[in-house]
Structure 1
């Protein structure tokens, strides 16, 4: 008879995700993972195959978690400007009991040049973020909140670039006030221009 697992897979994956998010792939050892996840090394291999596979699953877990929260917050917003402010707030303030910054951005910087799987996941995450921004910008253009001088997709790429920089800076000791100044200026650029 097969022995039943003594852990819930999503719970231990969440712990691995936070560790990778905090430390990155290279700095995280198998011993670190076993200790943080609270499972035996054999169970880790039986369930997740190897460190690389676990890392890719952790990236997927991160994306599901963040995307769900971002989309929900945007849908609850009453205006495009409020939706955009929510996204910036989510990124600058982060989540309670989670590392700062973005696991996908961190992973892209650390590994995308030498790991095709990580590169593909990062590019997919970036594309999805730009799609979210394009939806917000289109909404704002239709409501008159945002300029129509540029295509929504162009402004979405610009917003994503600004957000990526903020996500990197959020991992440093840069004060949140500076991140908010960048966010406010970025949102100001979207306002309709007179004349």
Structure 2
């Protein structure tokens, strides 16, 4: 008869994600995972798989969190432009609160260029987030709140790529006010 797990799957997954997020995929060893999770290797392998499989589970879980964050922002306010502005500010503020780059952004730079499975997962998540933004942009254009007739896909891609730029600037400046001014500027430009 198999033993019942004596730990919470999701809590340990979050702990593993935070370790990968802090150290990076390559620098995190199985020894680190065993030590940080407080589980033996066989429990980790039986529950989550090997290091790469555990990392993928962490990435899928985080991707769902980001998708939910965007969806939540999509329902705040009555107008699409309000939703769009909320999403942008919420994502930037979350990054500043976490005091680290988005887990997805870190993974793009560290792993995506050499791991096709991770690259595919990140592309899939990117399409979901981009689609949420596109819909809000398109509606804001129809409402007249975004004057530009630029393709919403281009604007959405630009917004997504800008998030990592805000973080890289913050690393150097450590000035939240500057980041908020940059966010204000981005939103002003989107509305033109």
TM-score, normalized by length of structure 2? 0.89
Name the structure with the higher helix share.
2
Counterparts of 1:108 and 1:183, CA distance in 2:
22
Counterparts of 1:93 and 1:111, CA distance in 2:
25
Partner of 2:133: 133
Counterparts of 1:51 and 1:171, CA distance in 2:
29
Distance 1:49 1:125, change over 3 A: same
Counterparts of 1:42 and 1:171, CA distance in 2:
39
Distance 1:172 1:53, change over 3 A: farther
Give every structure 1 segment of 4 or more consecutive aligned residues whose post-TM-superposition deviation is greater than 4 Å: 95-99, 167-173
TM-score, normalized by length of structure 1? 0.88
Partner of 1:101: 101
Partner of 1:113: 113
Give per-residue Cα distances to partners, 1:28-52, cap 9 Å, x unaligned.
1222222222222210011112000
For 1:19-168, list aligned pairs within 5 A.
Answer: 19-94=19-94, 98=98, 100-168=100-168
Distance 1:128 1:104, change over 3 A: same
Counterparts of 2:171 and 2:160, CA distance in 1:
17
Give the total of aligned pairs.
192
Counterparts of 1:29 and 1:18, CA distance in 2:
14
Q: Gaps spanning 5+ residues in structure 2: where?
A: none
Counterparts of 1:173 and 1:51, CA distance in 2:
35
Distance 1:190 1:95, change over 3 A: closer
